[in-house]
Amino acid sequence: MSASPPSSRNAQYKPALAWFAASGAAWVFVLVTLGAFTTSIGAGMAFPDWPLSNGSINPEGWLTDLAMFAEHSHRLSGVTMGFITIGLAVWLWKSESRSWLRRLGWWALFVVVVQGLIGGKRVLLDATHIPGFDMSLGQILRIPHGILAQVFVCILFAIAAGLSRPWIERTQAGELPNRARKLAIISTFLIFVQLVIAATMRHNHAGLAIPTFPLTPEGGLIPAAWDFRVGIHFAHRAMALVLTLILGWLAFEIIRAKTSEGMKLAAAIMSTLLIVQVLLGAAAIWTMRNAYYTTAHVIGGACLLAATFSLTWWAHRSRLEPARSGLAPKMSAQLEAAQA
């Protein structure tokens, strides 16, 4: 039997780095929350300039005006996220032995830079109109800005998981049968598709294209009249039903499998988030897109993606880390000596 690759054999738990990565994964939800609330109250153009706000880091009146507060807080949280990501990427590069984790750190930095540029161009190009489109170029950029945020969430959670003590020190953590692993991948992919649909719907002002729930105003399940906004809204509802079924199936497969209690807890959390998310979506329609319910619905989608992605990431841990990577250094050295 050959020895484990050096990148996994030398992996050690680094508490400070692990907690820093976990803090970054938590802070991203502050950023998502402020971004979602800014969009929900229509405050994306509270300041017509960028990167400063009205030419200042501390614009006058931003603490007393809700729209200005939402947008400027979002910008400040984005800058903070940028500094956190820079620190994380450099720290991983200097101290982490696993090449895949170092690469994830650089990917996180790349994504946060691109995300910041898209956010800035969304403001600067707001008045640039494109023939044949109802939205300006700046308004269109809100869609990839929202989608890329979800990619960033997954990268940060992947890094935080890989640096955690259970990931490094446990020989088997959350193994699942093949069918459950495949279901987990499909579920994560479909949630991401749903978030793309949601971002498209949200930024095309189609959140109330079908203003009643669960039935249409005509009392049926299928809209009587169709246009793009009705279609994208209906696609969001249809995908929600698909996700309810497949995530329920995934949770069932995990609960009945011989796996860790941590994995079963993750399945329970995922199921709970799914139920809450459906209720928040209904509440957003029933309250005619109340800003707080709508923002909570956006956050819920990010949380559901993070939970399902993390579950999937853990289920495929053995592909990144050989089983021996969880052994204590002394035992690992003894095994290597015996194999020699």
Q: What tens-digit pLDDT sequence spans the chain (340 residues)?
A: 334 333 445 578 999 999 999 999 999 999 999 999 999 999 999 999 999 999 999 999 999 999 999 999 999 999 999 999 999 999 999 999 999 999 999 999 999 999 999 999 999 999 999 888 889 999 999 999 999 999 999 999 999 999 999 898 875 556 788 899 999 999 999 999 999 999 999 999 999 999 999 999 999 999 999 999 999 999 999 999 999 999 999 999 999 988 888 899 999 999 999 999 999 999 999 999 999 999 999 999 999 999 999 999 999 888 887 654 444 444 344 434 433 4
Rg from Cα positions in the chain: 22
| Torsion of the alpha carbons at 54, 202, 139 and 122, rounded to the nearest 10 | 50
Residues 196 and 142: beta-carbon distance below 8 Å = no
Listed in sequence order, the residues at least 6 apart from 26 whose beta carbon sits closer than 8 Å to its beta carbon are none
Q: Give the Cα-Cα-Cα angle 39, 42, 46 (nearest 5 degrees).
A: 105
